Amino acid sequence: MYATIRRYEGVDNARTDELTRKIGESLLPRLSETDGFRGYFLIEAHDGVMSSVNFWETLEQADESTRIASNWVRDEKLETALPNPPKVTGGEVIVKKMVEKELVSA
């Protein structure tokens, strides 16, 4: 399994709700329909920082997710809400453990 982490800095705090909604409505469907998709998490770190962590079967699929996310920002005209390109880190997941519990959406 491979993970991709995107850290967005300089996020327009006034548009956080809009971004969250649009991610759920249009980015997540694109990603989840892509071969190899295993999961997606969005983290709001405040102070204009948001990060996403997503999981893929192969490195190629993880790399493709970055292209999909970049195109999505452009397609949704979110360049002013996300004015800086993300810092992208990715690689093979070498240790994992996850406990499945029902999460409550914000």
pLDDT digits (tens, 9 = 90+) for 44-101: 998 899 999 999 999 999 999 999 999 999 999 988 999 999 999 999 999 988 887 7
pLDDT exceeds 70 at position 105: no
Q: 37 phi and psi, to 5 degrees?
A: -65, 130
Q: Tell me the mean pLDDT in the region 19-35.
A: 93
Cα 45 from Cα 91, distance rounded (Å) = 22
Q: Smallest Cα–Cα separation from 21: which of 39, 38, 35, 42?
A: 42
Tell me the pLDDT tens digit for each residue of 28-58: 999 999 999 999 999 999 889 999 999 999 9
Contact (Cβ atoms closer than 8 angstroms) between residue 28 and residue 40 = yes
Cα 1 from Cα 102, distance rounded (Å) = 23
Q: How far is CA 31 from the centre of its chain?
A: 9
Q: Give the number of other Cβ atoms within 10 Å of residue 69's Cβ.
A: 21
Contact (Cβ atoms closer than 8 angstroms) between residue 31 and residue 40 = yes
> Could you give the angle at the alpha carbon of 97 between the alpha carbons of 90 and 22, nearest 5°?
55
